[in-house]
Chains A and B, each alone.
Chain A
């Protein structure tokens, strides 16, 4: 039986992943911003087969509250095999360009809060000498684009941070998994028109669970985004700056 902590548990991708874990009888600890919704998800996961479900409400930008939350999560399950960090907000690029406050807030939610959490989670997993730290970054972090470079740069920070953390933790036997989804049909992207490139949160969740099982380092979900983003990274900056993306 696995013990998992899920931060940003009300995210559609996190919830789909949690259902997969519940079906396998995992013990879960859910953390989300909206208490009522986290509680509803907890009841659902209990019904779907989770052996134990604890939960609490937390705004991830409240860095000072992280330590106590992690203590409670570890106590509830008696250790952790998997920590999944999934929260995020799709920044309004145009609005960010007109507001330093908003830009800083977006960077905080999408990057700094993740760094703060990982800083506290890393030594705990290292001490255990096992476990998985899985974080949802994004293909958007692979290259800054005019349409969403505040969000993209936050995800780039997360990806780079995890790459270093992986080097640090792998001797201790801890898996650090960077998850880079492409377009996923979730509340975050509700307003977009959907096409054939879009994946369901269920499909992404299956990819996350399999990547954890196979102890992968970096996954693109679905996998076709890996070559697509490789090409995107290869375009010389002199050309890239003239492309509207």
Chain B
């Protein structure tokens, strides 16, 4: 059914926006809605993608938020099936008390299962668990022509691989089934270790991968010279049943009520924050943390994206494969530090070599770097151009879920299977992202 007159929809970064006709479902048994006017359509989860990969400006969006029912939770086997609009937050509230946990969690719990599949999302345990799609066993794909396909790796390997990481372009996933993993409780044993430079950080990341299920590093990207790449490595394992710590009060209750006229994130506030954050920690700390705090530190403040003001912000996330990854990371951080375009959130993680199931999945073995920047227009675009050149030269790629600006040739070089993928895209599905990166193909 159509939901109201056309309206402006924007994504998490507030840099991409535009008018859409919006459609929805009232149940998963319903047919694919009739999209009037013959325009293209794109499934829309919870809009937690940063750029334009969840938008279809001038066309239609098909909201999945009302497909939010659980279908079956088998607490003996640790399998869960649910509709595609169920958010990971809801899954956590149901499975954790029963001693189970999702195999992969991204940095926010407010993403839908459909969105997690379509971007084949990754988490802090990529070096062990691979991507979200590695743990999806089956899903239903509903295509705009009305066909319903039950997809699994065994029965429909091609459609399975095209739809996982498929950016919503193969049709809409109505429900999915996934495997869970056992946990003793909601607690994690977390160690934070300060590293004085990039070498130390990378060395410790690689070493920690052996004994720790979760590893991630925050980088102070204003630090230059000898201190380039200094940061704090966090590594963690699920704690045993006896562990406990104060339970966080379900978010801080803080919300950013509206976007301030200018970004509150700028080089002055950043310099203060980064120095304080780096020095606040002792060289090494060990704590027990609730999973909410460890996995979703930003979810405590609702609408934190508004802090970046009305012009919004970009996230630049790349992955660099192979042995040159460390050097490329150094060049990338060097370019950022030299530009003085500090990034508040600069995250570095070593991906493992578990193969991603999707034709267009982003993760591959190597180093991934994710950087947030307030949208400052031309100077930022120039910096992105320099970063793109380093990524292209080292055979890396950018993450569509975070992107609103990558050049088409960088996308196509980074995702060599895009030609194969084209065979599975539905002619009636499209996105602003897809038109942009395929325009000059």
Contacts and interface: CB of A to CB of B under 8 A. Distances in A.
A193 B2 CA distance: 11
Contact of A40 (B3, B7, B28, B94): B28
Contacts of A43: 69-72
A41 B2 contact: no
A183 to B, nearest CB: 12
Given A37-B27, A37-B29, A47 B70 contact: yes
A26 to B, nearest CB: 16
B287 interface: no
Contacts of A81: none
Contacts of B24: 190
B73 interface: yes
Contact of B71 (A10, A36, A40, A49): A40
Nearest to A201: B66
A64 interface: no
B245 interface: no
B3 A190 contact: yes
B1 interface: yes
A192 B5 CA distance: 7
B1 A194 contact: no
Interface in A155-211: 187, 190-194
Contact of B70 (A12, A48, A193): A48
Interface string B65-78: 01001111100000
B7 A193 contact: yes
Nearest to A36: B29
A90 to B, nearest CB: 13
A56 interface: no
B2 A190 contact: yes
Contacts of A12: 66
A44 interface: yes
Contacts of B1: 187, 190-191
Nearest to B30: A37
Interface string B172-213: 000000000000000000000000000000000000000000
Given A37-B29, A187-B26, A44 B2 contact: no
A196 to B, nearest CB: 13
B4 interface: yes
Contacts of A48: 70, 94
Interface in B11-35: 24, 26-29
A33 to B, nearest CB: 12
A193 B22 CA distance: 11
Q: Is the interface of B mostly helix, strand, loop or mixed?
A: loop
B70 A44 contact: yes
A122 B72 CA distance: 36
Interface string B85-100: 0000000001000000
Given A48-B94, A187-B26, A190-B24, A40 B69 contact: yes
Nearest to A23: B93
Nearest to A42: B69
A194 B9 CA distance: 13
A47 B94 contact: yes
Nearest to A49: B94
A8 to B, nearest CB: 14
A25 to B, nearest CB: 12
Contacts of B72: 43, 47
A10 B5 CA distance: 25
Given A37-B29, A40-B27, A40-B28, A47 B3 contact: no
Contact of A194 (B4, B28, B82): B4
Contacts of A192: 4
A191 B70 contact: no
A47 to B, nearest CB: 4
Contacts of B28: 40
Contacts of B26: 37, 187
A48 B69 CA distance: 9
A187 B7 CA distance: 17
Contacts of A47: 70-73, 82, 94
B86 to A, nearest CB: 9
Contacts of A34: 27
B29 A193 contact: no
B25 to A, nearest CB: 9
B257 to A, nearest CB: 13
B383 to A, nearest CB: 39
Given A40-B69, A48-B70, A48-B94, A193 B5 contact: yes
Contacts of B3: 190-191
A44 to B, nearest CB: 4
Contacts of B27: 10, 34, 36-37, 40
Interface string A12-38: 100000000000000000000010110
A183 B3 CA distance: 14
A42 to B, nearest CB: 10
In the A-B complex, the 10 residue pairs with the closest CB atoms: A47-B70, A44-B69, A187-B26, A193-B4, A47-B73, A44-B70, A190-B1, A37-B27, A190-B3, A193-B5
13 contacts: A12-B66, A36-B27, A36-B29, A37-B27, A40-B27, A40-B29, A43-B69, A43-B70, A43-B72, A47-B71, A187-B26, A190-B1, A191-B3
Interface of B: 1-5, 7, 24, 26-29, 66, 69-73, 82, 94
Given A47-B72, A192-B4, 11 more contacts: A37-B27, A40-B28, A40-B29, A40-B71, A44-B71, A48-B94, A49-B94, A187-B26, A190-B1, A190-B3, A190-B24
